[in-house]
Chain A
Amino acid sequence: MNTNAKNYRQKIINLLITVVISMLVGAVLIGVLGNNPWQAYGALFQGAFVGKLNFGTTLANFAPLLLTAYAFIIPADASFFNCGVEGELYLGAITAAFVGYNFKGLPGPLHIVLCFLCAMIVGALWSLIPAVLKVRWNVNEVCVTILMNYVAMYIASYLVNGPMSAKTGTAQTPAVADNTQLAKFLVPSQANTGIFIAIAVTIFLYWMMNHSTVGYEIRSVGQNPHFSEYIGISPVKSMVNSMLISGAIGGMTGCIFVLGVYGYFLDNFSMGIAFNGMLAALIVGNDYKLTPFLAFFIAALQSGAQGMERNTGVPKSIVDVIISIFIIFATMEALFSFLSKKKKNSTAKSQSNTHHKEAES
């Protein structure tokens, strides 16, 4: 309900400027390595979009980025900085694998739904822990969620190397039932119908956060918990809800990996995918509308990087460096408001300690 069109336009312009600057820095780095930046970027573009494998990889990267970004934004709206989506991802995935390769007699659609449901429940329960620690004892969530990621990864790793091992030599579970695997397209890429599930869920989440009471309550709690409590919205409930939702989304993402990409749980399959999703969200300032675009952009960069390395020898990690430079610049909101002459009265603003001073006295 509360938009400021001019600020929004400014935001998008800032974003584009940041992209350009980061790409320029990247071009310099590539040049320093002795390669031709234009060639490299050309290969980057091709690697992202040209050909079934490339475009499919872009799409396959896009889905989890989008979901994990939203899994970060929703608790962030309740002012809860959830860095634990990676852990949700792993536990959701291992749960989906478990449900997938057991219960083999069930009809396909039912089995798929069961996998998703269990993955989401496990993810939600996992996220409940840092949420409770925060609301009861004010434990810093950044710290706890990051540490819990390691715990989740080790739990999954133990399971896949031990009781759930397929005993094949690589660390993976047995394959899930054939009828649970999500249909692939754009073979030989990893693109699968999970992508459409991801998009549908994202649209639902967007509606929920911006047009429903659940979203209003979560945002209200994030903006002013005292007011929310006073008016009858329980800050505890909303914060916990936001984390349950986040956990469910994270678990769902893990499930998509197992059912759609691999067909089994593979140890250490995620190289920080959820962190990239979090970055995508941070770059656009936790904006629901802009996040999909950025998620797509990063997905394209990542798949393009593989193509770039194959064709020009420029290492993939350059793209990671570019992306992280991008995020460094993107966090500096005020970087461009210095350049565009904003008429804010800086003294008045810097005085207010907690909340806003009224225009008087």
Chain B
Amino acid sequence: MDDFVVEMKNIVKNFGQVHAIKNGQFSLRKGEIHSLVGENGAGKSTMMNILYGIYQRDSGSIAIKGKQMEKIVPKTAIENGIGMVHQDFMLINDLSVLENIILGWEPRKHLEIDFAKAEKDIRYYIDNYNMEIQPEKRINQISVGEAQRVEIIKTLYRGADILILDEPTAILTPQECEKFFEILNNLKKDGKSVIFISHKLNEVMEISDRITVMRQGQYVATVNRADTNTKELAKMMVGREVFLNIERKKANVGKTVLSVDNLWTSGEKELSKIRGISLDVHAGEIVGIAGVDGNGQTEFIEAITGLRKVERGKVMLNGKDVTNLSPKKIRETGLAHIPEDRNSRGLNRQMNIMENIVAVKLNQKPYTNGAKINVKPIRDFSEKLIHKFDIRPDIPEMCTKTLSGGNAQKIVVAREVDADKDLLIAAQPSRGVDIGAIESIRNVLNEEKQKGKAILLVSADLQEVLSLSDRIAVMYDGKIVGIISAKDANENNVGVLMMGGTLQHDKTDEGSAAS
């Protein structure tokens, strides 16, 4: 009998109409690193959230260390040695690292917290696993990588010997990943078992002992790492031969549409404050900004679209100075923008499809006459776009609250592309979107490029940037550290720049590469 520390059998989970998991199977051996892979919507995060007790399964059985579990809440999971590090960290910004780690398991001196003991305990983990953190700093003062280590130490502090890591490398550079994998191996040596949720197949092949594939809420297969490769895994994930690299079309470069000159703007963290960025985007090309999330990409895009104050420098669009103009005026000058956060920026989830899709044109005839809103022309317009972009469900009056990620994104893309502006900004366009929709969105971007639009692409997905862009600008620490043309770019040199390193041979066109 194998020593399975976790066994999940025949799991079913529905969220109202949505069948998130139709048939979930998962087992974890002691001391292994087991990856759970699938594309967005496959159900992998949901499976683990059920194991950790955040969601309750509708049916099926779960055994932890041989013990059958009836109802699991996070507390029970933790008591049984399971710890989970989510994609969105469960860290409280205002409180210190130490307070976050001990929360719920505070060392006590009667009713008070024994701060001295807490510090001592935490120091043990820092030293034992070689994880650098600063206990006295507040969470909003530390880096993302450090915050991740805090989360891991938190789970260890709570006594976890089974760790669930949900897409942990999404926020790390290739080099930080290496260090992270070292930590994982340290944990494995110490007898801990790790569940690694990911869709990055290269990493999964590097680190795993076994790999379980899920597709559309169904269990597909479990394989040993030695018996498979990325191509096989991709095929199991999608159910068809996948060509992950879309052919990049040749660029017919025209005039300068966007010109950013020595831009300085505020940032949520030290790392993301923009201190002197210059960049040009021309008609007919796609310029891709590569970089680990949190290096100022968000702030940069907000600054040029009028959503954040430019503190120094200039932004020129179609020859006009649009620095610090209102978002409305900048759009009128020639901007369309697919934002990285479709839930808070891209859509008003409380309104329906047609209200969202017409939003940018609402003040024009025939959608309004003076102040009066005309519903029929709005519905006709919406139906047209719904069919063109294959948005489902195809009901204009449908509230957007329940739409899937892919369809929600398609509404945003439809609206922005239809606006037919000279500059199209696409920030993280494939995030949280299923593969079918990803392909269609990338095709749309290529089509717009062929039409002569200037396209600025921002993506944390290196593959996406490499396959779509004609030129790649790498952002690190609020600056552009290098601009590489497509023919010279590959995962290695771009990855190095993403970490703030330098290239041995100077392959950059322009820009402030650190030396």
Residues on A lying within 8 angstroms of B by beta carbon are 1-2, 208, 211-214, 216, 220, 223-224, 226-234, 343-345, 347-348, 351, 354-356, 358-361
CB distance from A302 to the nearest CB of B (A): 35
Chain A residues in 8 Å Cβ range of B55? 347-348
Q: Which of B338-355 contact A (CB under 8 A)?
A: 339, 341, 343-352, 354-355
Complex: how many Å from CA A140 to CA B344?
Answer: 22
Chain A residues in 8 Å Cβ range of B401? 356
Contact A360 B347 (CB under 8 A): no
CB distance from A29 to the nearest CB of B (A): 40
Is B224 positioned at the interface, with any CB of A under 8 Å from its CB? no
Complex: how many Å from CA A214 to CA B41?
Answer: 39
Chain B residues in 8 Å Cβ range of A2? 350-352, 355, 397, 399
Chain B residues in 8 Å Cβ range of A358? 343, 403-405, 408, 432
Complex: how many Å from CA A226 to CA B341?
Answer: 10
Contact B46 A361 (CB under 8 A): yes
Chain A residues in 8 Å Cβ range of B405? 358, 360
Contact A232 B375 (CB under 8 A): no
Contact A216 B375 (CB under 8 A): no
Using known A-B contacts A1-B397, A223-B350, determine if residue A230 contacts B327 with beta carbons closer than 8 Å.
yes
Contact of A224 among B43, B331, B350, B368 (CB under 8 A): B350
Chain A residues in 8 Å Cβ range of B18? 359
- Among A213, A223, A230, max chain B CB count under 10 A is at A230
Chain B residues in 8 Å Cβ range of A345? 15-16
Contact B372 A355 (CB under 8 A): no
Contact B371 A214 (CB under 8 A): yes
How many B residues, CB 8 Å from partner?
A: 54
Contact A359 B363 (CB under 8 A): no
Contact B371 A212 (CB under 8 A): yes
CB distance from A286 to the nearest CB of B (A): 14
- Among A212, A232, A234, max chain B CB count under 10 A is at A232
Q: Which of B282-316 contact A (CB under 8 A)?
A: 305, 307
Q: Can you list 18 A-B contacts (CB < 8 A)?
A: A1-B352, A212-B373, A213-B362, A216-B355, A229-B327, A230-B337, A230-B345, A232-B360, A343-B16, A345-B15, A354-B344, A355-B349, A356-B401, A358-B403, A358-B432, A359-B18, A359-B404, A361-B44
Contact A361 B45 (CB under 8 A): yes
Complex: how many Å from CA A214 to CA B408?
Answer: 26
Chain A residues in 8 Å Cβ range of B46? 361
Contact A227 B344 (CB under 8 A): yes
Q: Which of B18-66 contact A (CB under 8 A)?
A: 18, 20, 40-46, 54-56
Complex: how many Å from CA A212 to CA B362?
Answer: 11
Contact B15 A359 (CB under 8 A): yes
Contact with A along B406-443 (1 / 0, CB 8 A): 00100000000000000000000000101000000000
Chain A residues in 8 Å Cβ range of B341? 226
Contact B404 A355 (CB under 8 A): no
Is B223 positioned at the interface, with any CB of A under 8 Å from its CB? no
Chain A residues in 8 Å Cβ range of B344? 224, 226-227, 354-355
Contact A348 B348 (CB under 8 A): no
Complex: how many Å from CA A360 to CA B433?
Answer: 9
Using known A-B contacts A216-B362, A220-B351, A360-B432, determine if residue A232 contacts B43 with beta carbons closer than 8 Å.
no
Complex: how many Å from CA A202 to CA B275?
Answer: 52
CB distance from A221 to the nearest CB of B (A): 10
Is B402 positioned at the interface, with any CB of A under 8 Å from its CB? yes
Contact A229 B307 (CB under 8 A): yes
Chain A residues in 8 Å Cβ range of B15? 345, 348, 359
Contact of A231 among B41, B42, B354, B359 (CB under 8 A): B359
Using known A-B contacts A1-B355, A212-B372, A232-B327, determine if residue A361 contacts B348 with beta carbons closer than 8 Å.
no
Is B326 positioned at the interface, with any CB of A under 8 Å from its CB? yes
Q: Which of B212-232 contact A (CB under 8 A)?
A: none
With both beta carbons as reference points, the residue of chain B lying nearest to A359 in the complex is identified as: B18
Complex: how many Å from CA A214 to CA B327?
Answer: 18
